Structure 1
């Protein structure tokens, strides 16, 4: 099973990559499939490629849900 966590584009580079933040974890991903991305966009990434642009409100809501789930899963 694969869980898609939206990441926020922090920087788009001229080499066809972007720096993406996944709630504090930063990764460099390929923008070859979505070449018109800009900083502030939210994307779904799989296997190192940005595959799908996500509505910012939906992305923030999803990230908040994941944060709540992880918080509840922590031992007391």
Structure 2
């Protein structure tokens, strides 16, 4: 059983994306890409909003991504 971590960025508010747009990235990853790669379970990590975010916030996003990648794939991930 394969697992995946998908990291997305967005400028759309989470509520609007889910209610008005039907969460298009979830549809793409969950229905159109990952099943054909043999991935059965996945988690999405979404950073938002990118537009207007400070360098400090972006640095935290990168650190969070690195921590999660290391937890999933080992310390040799750069």
Q: TM-score, normalised by structure 1?
A: 0.32
Which protein has the bigger strand share?
A: 1
Which protein has the bigger helix share?
A: 2
Structure whose alpha-carbon radius of gyration is higher? 2
User: Relative contact order (alpha carbons < 8 A, sep ≥ 6): 1 or 2 greater?
Assistant: 2
